[in-house]
Structures are given as C-alpha cells and as structure tokens.
Amino acid sequence: MPTDPLRPRVLGHLWSHFTWRHWCHTPWRTVILIGILALGVAVFFSIRLANRAAIAGFQLFSENVTGTSDLVITSPAGKLPVTVLPQIREALGDLPAGLFPVLESTAVLPSDTVAGHGQQTFEMLGVDLAALSNIVYLSGGSEVPLNVRMSPVTAASGPPIYVTRAAAEAHRWRENEDVQLTIDDSIHTLHVAGFLPSSEFSIQAPDRLIVIDLPALQQLTGQTEEIHRVELRIPSGHWESEWRRVARERLEKGSEERWLVETPDQRRESGRMMTQAFRLNLSILSCLALLVGIYLILQALEAAVVRRRPEIATLRALGVSPFAIRRAWQFEALILGLLGTVIGLLLGWALAQLTVRAIAQTVNTLYYSNTTEAAAWHWGEAALASALGILASGVAGWLPARDASLTPPAQMLQRGTRADGLKVLLKPWVGIVFVLLALAAHGAPAWRTAQGGVLPLGGYVAAFFWVAGAGILAGLWFPCIARLGGRLGQRVPELFYAASQLLQATGRHRLATAGLVVAVAMAGGMSILVGSFEQTVQRWLDQVMKADLFIAPQGSGNASSRNRLSEQTWRALIADAAVANAEVSQFHRIRYEGVPVILAGVGFEGALAPESGPIWLEEPESMDPPPGVDEIWGVMSEPFAYRFHHAVGDMIDVPTPTGVLAVRLVGIYADYGNEFGTIAIERETLARAFEDSRAARMAIHLRSGESLTETQERWARSFPGMVISNNRQLREEAVRIFHQTFAVTHGLKWIGILVAIAGLGLALASMLLERSRELATLRALGMTPARTARATAWESLGIALAGLVTGFLLSVVLGHLIVYVINRQAFGWTLLFTLPWQEFLILALGVCAVSGLVGYGIGRRQAASLRTGG
C-alpha cells in the first residue's frame, strides 16, 4: 500500500471539489440513489419490526398475570386439575413462594355477522384475585401488575370483571355497568367492576385483556376442576435467586410427569418457535429487497464512474494515486449508505405500522392470539438494519471504486471505450460453477433447532446459488435475441441497430438482465408457491368440506380461542329434525416432545369415511384394532409425521390430564390447516381422557328437502353464541385467510419487480450516456429523437426478454425448490406443483411494457439533450 502523506487531505479535497460538486450538479440522481437504498433498508427494517411486534403480542400475554413471574407450571396436556395445587405445595416443601393458578379463556362480543371474521377476541384470565393482592407483600410493594382494587360490588347481575381502559373506551363500557360477552357457545352478562392499571407499571396490559375471579371463570366455562397454569413468585430479597433455583429443582423432582416447569423466557421461546418458519421466510424475502438495493447502488456508482472517467483520467495524469481515487469512491458509497440508512430507518418504522397489522392478523389466525396493533421502535433491529445498509453500500461501492482506480491516466478518449462493467458476468463458467453448487445444496438436510424448529438452510443456500448462477448465464441469451432482432429488423433500422447493441452486449447489459432475473424469478417463485398452495388447499377443501353447515363457537377464527360448544348444545343440534348426520370434533393444544401440537378427537365413521374423509397419504386399512388387541388407534397429519419422524405403525405417548395415552398411529392424512401437526383419535376416547365432552366444531349434513338458509337462520336465532356457516361461506373464509397470509409476500414481490425495472432504467441511462457520441451520430444521419428512442426501447425490450426468459426458467426451479424442499422441510406439507400461467403472462407483459416505456423515455431524453461534439 503506497504511503501518501497527503492522503487525508487529498481525500477531503476530492470529496469537496469533485464528489460533492457532482452531487450538487445532479441532485435528482443523488436523491433517487439514496431513496433506493432507503427503500431496501426500510423494507427489511419494517418486516423485522413487524415480526417482533407480532411476537411481543405473545410475550405480553404470557407475562402479564403476576408481572414477571419466576416460574410457570404447566402441563403437556394443556391443563391441570385443581388438585395439583396442594401437590405443588408439597413438592416445594418449606420454600416461601406464592402460587397463582390461572385459567384462560376467550370471549367475543356477541355479533350478528354470520361468518364472524374480524371479530375482536378478548383474552379472559381467571385468577385468584384474593391471592393476587398478596403480591404486594411478596414483591415488597414495589411492582404490582394487577393491583385490582376490589370495589364492593353492588347489585351485581353477573360475575365482576376488570377490563382495560382502552377496551372500555373502545366499547363504551362504564364502571359498575353490565356487559354481554360470548364465552364458549353462550352469551353471558358480566359486570365491569373496575379497570386494570395500564401505564403506572412496568408491564402494560394488552388492550383486550379481561381479568375475572378464577372460580367465576371456572363456573362460566364449566371447567370447575381445572386450571391452565400455575405461576410462582418468590419473595424478593437476598435469597431470591437461590430460592428460585431450589424451587425449580424441587418442582422438577416432584413432578412425576404431572407438570412442566418453565421460566417465562422458555415460554416466550415457544411462541417464537411456533412462528419461526413464517418469520424466517419474511425476513429472507425482505433481505431480497436489500439485495436488489445493493445491486442498484452498484449500478448507479458504476454509471457515475463511466460519466466521470475523463475527470478521473485527468486526475490520474495529474498524479493522484489510484489508491486515493479508490478511497474517494468508497467514501462516496459510504456516505450514500449512511444517508440511505438513516432515511430507511425512518421510512421502515412508518412502513412497519402498516405491515404489522397484516402480520399480526396472520399470526392471530394461524398461531396464537395476538393483540399487536403498532410496531415499536427497536434499537437492536435498527442497528442490524443500519449495519446491513452500510455493509450493502460498502459492497456496492467496492467494484466501481476498483474500476475507477484502474482508469488509466488520460489517453482513453481516443476510441469510444465501451466499459465492460462487471467482468464476472462475462464468464459463463462462473455461472456454471454456481449452478453446480446449487444442485449440491439441494440435497442438504434441514437444520433442526433445539426447540424443534426446522430451518431449511440447504434450500435457501441452493436458492442463492441458483439465482447467482442464472444471473450470470442469462447473458447467453443475448446472441440469440440479437440474431432474432437482426432478422426481424431488416426493414426496421431501429430494431436492427438495437440488435447490433445486444450482439455486443456489455457487462452493463448483463447486470441489468441479472437484476431482472432475480426479481422475475423471485416473483415467479412466489407465484408458484402461492398458486400451488391455493390449488392444493382448494382440492383439500373440496375433499374435506362436503357438509352443508359448519358450526363453531364465536371467536374460533382465532387460533388460540378456547371457546367450545357444550355437550348440551351439540347434542341438541344432532337431535334436530333437519339433521341427517353430523360430525362432531374437538381438539386440544398439547405439548408433544415439548413442542406444541394438536390433539384432535373425531368421529371415525363420519370424519374419516372414504367419501367425506381427508386426502390420505397413507390410508389405514381399518380404524378399529382387531379383536383381542387392546390399543388406541389414531392417525396423524402430514406435518406431524414429518416433524417427529413418525411412520405408520409407531406407538406414541400422548399426554392427557388423566395420564399418558399410548396411541398406535395407523395412517397419515394431508392437512393444510396448521403446521404444528395433528394427532387424531376417536372423539369419545379424547373426551374421556380430558374429562371434557365439549366440541370445537360440527359439520352437518341436512336431510334432503330441508332448506339450508332456513335452518341456518333458525339455529342462529336459537344459538346466538355460535357461528353457523354454510359451505360457501366457510370456503370463502378459508380463501380469505389464505390471501391474508400472503398479503405481505405479494407486497414484497412487487417492490422487488419495481426496483429491478428501476435498475434497468438506470442501466440504460448510463449506457446511453456512454454512447452519447453515437446518439449524436445517429442524429446527424437523420434519425429523429423519436426514432432513437424507439431503438432504445427495442434494446430495453431485448434486455427485458433475456431477463424474463431466464427469470421464468429460474422461477420454475425456485418454485420447485420452495414447494418440494423449503416448504416441505419447514412445514412438512406436500403441495401440488402448479404453474400459474396467467400470472406469469401478466408479469411478462407488464415487465415488457414498462421496460419498453422506460427505454423509450430515457432514449428520448438523451437524444433530445444532445449535440454533435468535436
């Protein structure tokens, strides 16, 4: 490295007298450049913030009851008998600890909408209010999250509840007034006895939290003998951490498989784990936006190098070292990066407020209840996004800086130098190596995290190499396209000229194509994924949704809803004269091998019957054990089989409140309803094991001749706490959820395409700048600006064509990768591969049209602003 004593001074001078003046001279170019980088950073940052907010919703809820509880005692079966309390006491021995049993439930506002979507679900927490007031003593009076002042209830018509001020405001509830809420399948009158504290304490209550006395909630939900968890608080003081350790030890030793002991951190982790794959997919997608941003900056800086080449050559001739020039360019890139990052963070924060709702909605429907409505600023994420943004600008500045420093002193204007741009893109063998690496990565197994999460790393690596390889190989189309253009252009001189440009395509042409390839392939791959998914789900719905009416308690659109149909209700429905037959099903969320899964109870004759049953991947020969074999038989969903590596014939241990149930798995069925995995056993067996005969859903076939709408309306009147949907409504709801899930994906897809087309425009603009003398010649030869613009449009179209053809081929490969490798590894789903032709066609036409227009516009502008030099 040459030591240049004047270096810092030289650098400063280069910045203030050259770079800065160039920026001022072309302010819009600078603004757009910074804007592009800002967009990339913003997309990334907003998705990360929104993801974080969605998780935080879970966190808030799990932490809220006793503030930061020390330990949480739960059961793998999902609930604990109340008798567990003395057992826990016994296990703890003489340790001073407060025990706070919690029963969770959900409630919704009674509504008259039939489908019932978009309903607000309230989280009902049944806690021992008397015991809770003891926390004051336990924590030394410092921190009391639910310091419920129990005002004497006067003439209460229902059990007292405590609500947040926000909820009270939103629903115009007043203190000491009655409200109506649907819990399970019936409407109850409850009395608002007071408000939950909101801002005075370290942890804020989620707006939709309702606190109620434990026995009251047990009564309301008919779960008089049950609780969902016990929170444990150790009194604060000198011995706190020691006691916590001992408590944990003793509880674990004394558990005898009756309970699980976790710290709140561990509980939070499980929420994080549930949505891991979902969030990872979004993060990776948002990274793509940043990647395209890098690519654009690189292109723009390359163009700037070309524009300023005479100046660089002169500086070189005057003795400025290549090293100083290189530094000056890197510095310029860095400043761009810094500015773009700062703006990007602000923009991202604003964008997050928009995306957070979409993401929270999805999490709500698919994973767990979530009360998020705003994304909070997070310094850690901001630091990560900043680091990526500045790193991106550094990477993007590196090549142009090298290019600039390699400019020879003067003497370069002689022969119209066509800059090579990125030389890597001119070497097909590099592309072939990338493709080979991609093929190798295809087979790599998924990486399993300690909490049972699955990251399809091999798939992502393969996707990266495919994209890189295809981006380079896309340039191989240019000769073909040029020859085709040349032939068609015999009578069209503009096309003929454009073809001659493509025949000698530069690195810049290839870079523009590569950008389009990435964007088109990404969009195409996403379309294939969504299309395949939609097709598969549609087929699945056709198979499993044959009944006329579907019944569920209100609020069941929310994944963590605990509302159920009481036995009385579902029996009454079965007995109704209009019903030909009914399938009643129930499910519980349990933990299998420490991971959340769903244990379902279905009627084997009805739900699994060949005509109305699921799509079998491995169909059981029979659902009943042969005589003499005393076993419980069940079937599993595909994600379950995939996640836990279970095969047909395996015996598994299923935790239930009444003890472990040994189940032999005899079949695998397709299930796109959830990704946790489901074990389905006979409903009555489940009811016995859980001592709970309620039902989550009913599917009803009406007798022929019975009017669908009439029955629906009649039941809606007599069972106001239920959502009664007909086949069409439920399907529409399923499709709506489906589209909502992919809403963010679609948004990101279009941002990618937009940025790539901007890149194409930028590339064309810099190519035409390089060619300004050529354009002047064309003008002298009698070509009007309009004709020159048409030539540029053809050229742009040629680049777009190369990008589209490669992009679509690549998208099929990526689609295959996503459907058969990534999706399978992450979710364990088999999808039907579908090529969404119409979407591809629209995409192709759109890209062609916009590319043509961009080319025309830039050509026209350049041609109009020209003079014949020399």
Partner 1 sequence: MDATQAVPLLVASQLTKSFGGTPVLRAVDLEIGRGECVALIGPSGSGKSTLLHCLGGLERPDGGSLTFDGQPFAELTDEALADLRRRRLSSIFQFFHLLPTLTAEENIAFPLRLLGLDRQIRESRVNELLEQTKLTSRRAAFPHELSGGEQQRVAIARALIIHPAMILADEPTGNLDSTTGNVILDLIESLTETYETALLLVTHSREATRVCHRTLRMRDGQLDHAD
Q: Decide: 197 and 205 in contact? Cβ < 8 Å.
A: yes
723: which strand partners?
Answer: 552
> Closer CB to partner 1, residue 51 or residue 772?
772
Binding residue (CB under 8 A) for partner 1 from 765, 768, 783, 810: 783
860 binds partner 1 (CB under 8 A): no
Interaxial angle between packed helices 507-544 and 837-864, expressed in degrees from 0 to 180 and rounded to the nearest 10: 150
Q: Decide: 102 and 146 in contact? Cβ < 8 Å.
A: no
* Alpha-carbon gap, residue 377 to 374, rounded angstroms: 10
> Closer CB to partner 1, residue 172 or residue 867?
867
Q: Which residue has the tokens 């809606």?
A: 716
Binding mask 785-814 for partner 1 (x = CB under 8 A): x-x---------------------------
> Closer CB to partner 1, residue 172 or residue 491?
491
Query: Which H or E element spans position 717?
Result: helix 708-718
* Alpha-carbon gap, residue 681 to 774, rounded angstroms: 77
Shortest approach of partner 1 to residue 853 CB, angstroms? 21
Strand segments, DSSP code E, in 357-490 are: 447-448, 454-455
* Alpha-carbon gap, residue 620 to 609, rounded angstroms: 11
> Closer CB to partner 1, residue 24 or residue 780?
780
Binding residue (CB under 8 A) for partner 1 from 418, 571, 736, 746: 418
> Closer CB to partner 1, residue 500 or residue 535?
500
Shortest approach of partner 1 to residue 775 CB, angstroms? 10
Neighbours of 304 (CB within 10 A): 24
861 binds partner 1 (CB under 8 A): no
25 binds partner 1 (CB under 8 A): no
The two tokens of residue 595 are 């991971």
- Short-list 288, 705, 787, CA closest to 493: 787
Binding residue (CB under 8 A) for partner 1 from 229, 779, 790, 860: 779
Shortest approach of partner 1 to residue 742 CB, angstroms? 44
Q: Decide: 320 and 419 in contact? Cβ < 8 Å.
A: no
* Alpha-carbon gap, residue 326 to 324, rounded angstroms: 5
> Closer CB to partner 1, residue 678 or residue 766?
766
776 binds partner 1 (CB under 8 A): yes
The two tokens of residue 706 are 């019975």
Shortest approach of partner 1 to residue 306 CB, angstroms? 15
> Closer CB to partner 1, residue 138 or residue 778?
778
Residue 855 neighbours by CB under 8 Å, 6+ apart: 760, 761, 764, 789, 792, 793, 794, 795, 796, 797
Shortest approach of partner 1 to residue 488 CB, angstroms? 13
Residue 679 neighbours by CB under 8 Å, 6+ apart: 592, 597, 598, 599, 600, 634, 635, 636, 637, 640, 652, 654, 663, 665
Which three-class secondary structure state does DSSP give residue 691? coil
Residue count at the site for partner 1 (CB under 8 A)?
28
Shortest approach of partner 1 to residue 854 CB, angstroms? 21
Stretch that binds partner 1, among 221-229, 301-309, 671-679, 773-781 (CB under 8 A): 773-781
Stretch that binds partner 1, among 3-11, 344-352, 612-620, 774-782 (CB under 8 A): 774-782
Shortest approach of partner 1 to residue 411 CB, angstroms? 14
> Closer CB to partner 1, residue 16 or residue 504?
504
> Closer CB to partner 1, residue 442 or residue 510?
510
Which three-class secondary structure state does DSSP give residue 127? strand
Shortest approach of partner 1 to residue 770 CB, angstroms? 10
Binding residue (CB under 8 A) for partner 1 from 357, 774, 832, 848: 774
Stretch that binds partner 1, among 79-87, 375-383, 771-779, 831-839 (CB under 8 A): 771-779
Stretch that binds partner 1, among 19-27, 253-261, 712-720, 769-777 (CB under 8 A): 769-777
> Closer CB to partner 1, residue 495 or residue 758?
495
Binding mask 473-492 for partner 1 (x = CB under 8 A): -----------------xx-
> Closer CB to partner 1, residue 113 or residue 504?
504
The two tokens of residue 645 are 């590596």
* Alpha-carbon gap, residue 789 to 163, rounded angstroms: 66
Residue 660 neighbours by CB under 8 Å, 6+ apart: 257, 653, 654
Stretch that binds partner 1, among 49-57, 323-331, 691-699, 770-778 (CB under 8 A): 770-778
> Closer CB to partner 1, residue 25 or residue 253?
25
Q: CA–CA distance from 783 to each of 443, 485, 618, 776 (Å)?
A: 55, 19, 70, 9
Binding mask 489-508 for partner 1 (x = CB under 8 A): -xx-x--xx--xx-xx----
Residue 800 neighbours by CB under 8 Å, 6+ apart: 516, 760, 847, 848, 851, 852
Stretch that binds partner 1, among 117-125, 578-586, 664-672, 777-785 (CB under 8 A): 777-785
Query: Which H or E element spans position 811?
Result: helix 785-816
Question: Beta strand pairing status for 616-618 and 595-602?
Answer: unpaired
Shortest approach of partner 1 to residue 504 CB, angstroms? 5
Q: Which of residues 676-735 bind partner 1 (CB under 8 A)?
A: none
Q: Which of residues 388-417 bind partner 1 (CB under 8 A)?
A: 415-416
The two tokens of residue 66 are 């006793």
Binding residue (CB under 8 A) for partner 1 from 29, 539, 591, 773: 773
Binding residue (CB under 8 A) for partner 1 from 16, 157, 784, 838: 784
> Closer CB to partner 1, residue 332 or residue 494?
494
* Alpha-carbon gap, residue 128 to 135, rounded angstroms: 12
> Closer CB to partner 1, residue 223 or residue 788?
788
The number of residues making up the chain comes to 870
Report CA 317 to chain centroid distance, whole Å. Answer: 54
Binding mask 180-209 for partner 1 (x = CB under 8 A): ------------------------------
Binding residue (CB under 8 A) for partner 1 from 778, 804, 817, 818: 778
* Rounded (to 5) percent helix, strand, coil in the chain: 55, 15, 30
> Closer CB to partner 1, residue 601 or residue 798?
798
DSSP conformation class of 340: H
> Closer CB to partner 1, residue 193 or residue 481?
481
Q: Decide: 53 and 376 in contact? Cβ < 8 Å.
A: yes
DSSP conformation class of 67: B
* Alpha-carbon gap, residue 30 to 49, rounded angstroms: 28
Stretch that binds partner 1, among 161-169, 562-570, 776-784, 826-834 (CB under 8 A): 776-784
Residue 91 neighbours by CB under 8 Å, 6+ apart: 250, 251, 253, 254, 255
> Closer CB to partner 1, residue 489 or residue 613?
489
865 binds partner 1 (CB under 8 A): no
Shortest approach of partner 1 to residue 432 CB, angstroms? 27
Q: Which amino acid is at 105?
A: S
Shortest approach of partner 1 to residue 870 CB, angstroms? 5
Q: Which residue has the tokens 């001659």?
A: 500
* Alpha-carbon gap, residue 559 to 817, rounded angstroms: 29
Phi, psi for 547 (deg, rounded to 5): -70, 165
Q: Which of residues 506-545 bind partner 1 (CB under 8 A)?
A: none
Q: Which residues bind partner 1 (CB under 8 A)?
A: 415-416, 418, 490-491, 493, 496-497, 500-501, 503-504, 773-774, 776-785, 787, 867-868, 870
